[in-house]
Chains A and B, each alone.
Chain A
Amino acid sequence: MNPLSFFSGADPLSDVGPLSAPGLLLAAAVTAGAASLWLLLPRGRENRITGWLGLALGGLSLAGFVATGRRLGGIGEEAVFLTVSLVAVISAAATILTRSPVYCAIWFALSLAGVAGVLLVLGAQFLGVATIVVYAGAILVMFLFVLMLAQPTGMASYDRVSSEPLLSAVAGAVLLGLLTLAIGRLSAGPESAPTTDAPTDGALASDSLAADQVARLGAELFGRHLVAVEAVGTLLLISLIGAIAVVSRGEAAAADEDRARQRRALP
Chain B
Amino acid sequence: MNALLPSLETIASLVKIGLLVGGLMTAAAYLVLLERWIAAWVQDRRGPNRVGIPLTKIRLFGLGQPLADGLKIILKEDFTPKHVDKVLYNAAPLLILAASLAIFAAIPFGSVLPPLNIPGLPDPVPFLVAPGLDVGVLWVFALSSIAVYGVLLGGWASNNKYGFLGGLRSSAQLLAYEIPLGLGLLGVVLAAGSLKLDVIMNAQAQSGIWYAFSQPLGFVVFMVASFAEAARLPFDLPEAEQELVGGYHTEYSGIRLLLFLVSEFLHMITASFLIVIMFLGGWHLWGLTGSGQEVSWVGAFIRCGVLSGKVLGVIVFFMLVRWSWPRFRFDQLMSLAWKVMLPLGIANLVVVATVEEFRPQLVEAIGHTGATWTAITGPWGLYFVGWITAGILTPSGTDNRPIRTTRPLDGSCDLPSQSLASHELAGTR
Contacts and interface: CB of A to CB of B under 8 A. Distances in A.
Nearest to A137: B145
Given A251-B426, A259-B406, A152 B149 contact: no
Contact of B171 (A130, A132, A144, A251): A144
B142 A129 contact: yes
Interface string B72-95: 000000000000000010000000
A198 interface: no
Contact of A255 (B149, B153, B405): B405
Interface string A88-128: 00000000000000100010010000000000000001100
A244 B133 CA distance: 38
A263 interface: yes
Given A138-B145, A148-B156, A152-B164, A214 B88 contact: no
A83 to B, nearest CB: 15
A141 B152 contact: yes
A215 B195 CA distance: 9
Interface string A229-267: 000000000000000000000011011001100110010
Given A74-B3, A259-B405, A133 B138 contact: yes
A203 interface: no
A145 B134 contact: no
Interface in B103-161: 132-135, 138-139, 141-143, 145-146, 148-149, 152-153, 156
B3 A213 contact: no
A263 B4 CA distance: 78
A76 interface: yes
Contact of B167 (A76, A106, A138, A148): A148
B171 to A, nearest CB: 5
A148 B142 contact: no
A137 B148 contact: yes
B146 A136 contact: yes
Contacts of A213: 134
Interface in B25-43: none
B425 interface: yes
B175 interface: yes
- Could you tell me the dominant secondary structure of chain A's interface residues? helix
Interface residues of A, number: 39
A109 B149 contact: yes
Given A132-B142, A137-B146, A138-B145, A144 B152 contact: yes
A19 interface: no
A106 B405 contact: no
A136 B95 CA distance: 14
Given A125-B134, A266-B406, A133 B141 contact: yes
A158 B132 CA distance: 46
Contact of A258 (B132, B142, B164, B425): B425
27 contacts: A75-B4, A106-B149, A125-B133, A125-B135, A129-B141, A129-B142, A130-B138, A132-B146, A133-B138, A137-B141, A137-B148, A138-B178, A141-B148, A141-B174, A141-B175, A145-B152, A145-B171, A145-B172, A148-B156, A149-B168, A211-B134, A214-B134, A251-B422, A251-B425, A254-B426, A258-B425, A263-B406
Interface of B: 1, 3-4, 88, 132-135, 138-139, 141-143, 145-146, 148-149, 152-153, 156, 164, 167-168, 171-172, 174-175, 178, 193-195, 404-408, 422, 425-426, 429
